[in-house]
Structure 1
Amino acid sequence: MKNIQILIIDLGSQYTLVIGRTLRELGIRSVIFSPKRASDWLRYNKPKGIILSGGSASVYEKDAPFPPERILKLALPILGICYGMQWLAYKLGGTVVSHRESKEYGKAKAFFDYKDRLFLNLNKKNTVWASHGDSVDSVPKGDR
C-alpha cells in the first residue's frame, strides 16, 4: 500500500470511519486496522503518523484492545483520541484514573493552549463530545 500517510488503529470507537473519511476529504491517505492487523501491516509499511481511535475500554481491563507496543519505538507522531490517549499516557508513564462507577457522557469543553501547527485553525475553546470512564490525570514526562 504505497503512499499511505496515516495508520489508524481502531480500538473500538464508533467514529473511526469518520476519522478516515475526514482525512480522505483533506487529501490524506489512510488505512484503518485492528491492533493485530496493524502490527502485521507495520512489518512492511511505514506511515508518516498514527492515530489511535477511542473506544469504550479501560486501560485497566484485562481484555481491552491494546495497540502494538512497538509503535512507541517508531519515530512517528502518534495522536491518541480518548481511549487511545489514555493508553498512550498509561504506557508512557502518565497517570490514568478510572471513573468506571461514574462515566462521563455528553458535551464538554476542550481547551487548546499548545502552540503547534496541528491546532492552528482551532479555537482556543471547543465544544466536544465526551464518552469515557477513565481520564488522564498526569501527562507522561516529555509528552504533550
Structure 2
Amino acid sequence: MEDRQIVILDFGSQTTQLIARRIREMGVRTEIFAFNTPVTEIRKHHPFGVILSGSPFFPWQTGAPKPDPQVFTINVPILGLCYGLYLLTENLGGKVWELQNKEYGMANLKIGKSEKLFAGLP
C-alpha cells in the first residue's frame, strides 16, 4: 500500500468497515477512528482526506454523536456520507431537517475528472 492515508471517523455506521476495505483495495492506507477522537490525534496520522461515516442517529436527535469541531479545520478534503454529510452541511452553515418520506438506497454518482478529492484514483 502507498504511504497516503485516509482517516474515517466512525459515527456508528454499519458500513464503516466496508468503506475502509474498499479504499484499501485501491491501495490507499485507511485508519478508522471513533467519532470523538481529538483532532490532535487525527493530525498525527497526516491524512490527505477525511471521511465522516453514517450513523443510526440524525443530527437533531438528543445524544447524536458530534466530532471534535476542529476536524473541519484540518485543511484536507472531507467527504460526508449520510449522517457525515449532515454534519458537514451544518458546519458550513447549511440546515438539515427531517423529511416526511425517508430516502434510502442506491444512487448513481458521476465524478468529473477534475474533482480533486478523487484525483489519482482509478
TM class, shorter-length = 0.7 to 0.9
Distance in 2 separating the partners of 1:34 and 1:104: 26
Task: Tell me how large the CA RMSD over aligned residues is.
Answer: 2.5
Structure 1 partner of 2:102 = 103
Checking the alignment, whether the CA contact within 8 Å between 2:37 and 2:67 is kept in structure 1 is no
TM-score by length of 2: 0.79
Deviations 1:23-82 (Å, cap 9, x if unpaired)? 111100011111223545225332111001111211111211112211111111000000
- Aligned sequence identity (%): 35
Pair 1:20-2:32 in alignment: no
Structure 1 partner of 2:33 = 33
SS of corresponding position for 1:36: coil
Checking the alignment, whether the CA contact within 8 Å between 1:11 and 1:34 is kept in structure 2 is yes
TM-score by length of 1: 0.69
Checking the alignment, whether the CA contact within 8 Å between 2:11 and 2:35 is kept in structure 1 is yes
Distance in 2 separating the partners of 1:45 and 1:30: 10
Q: Select between 28-37 and 109-118 the one with higher mean Cα deviation.
A: 109-118
Paired amino acid for 1:82: C
Distance in 2 separating the partners of 1:68 and 1:20: 21
Gaps of at least 5 residues in structure 2 are none
Distance in 1 separating the partners of 2:52 and 2:83: 8
CA shift in 2, pair 1:102/1:67, >3 Å: same
Distance in 2 separating the partners of 1:34 and 1:97: 25
SS of corresponding position for 1:37: coil
Equivalenced residue count is 117
User: What's the CA shift for 1:4?
Assistant: 5.5
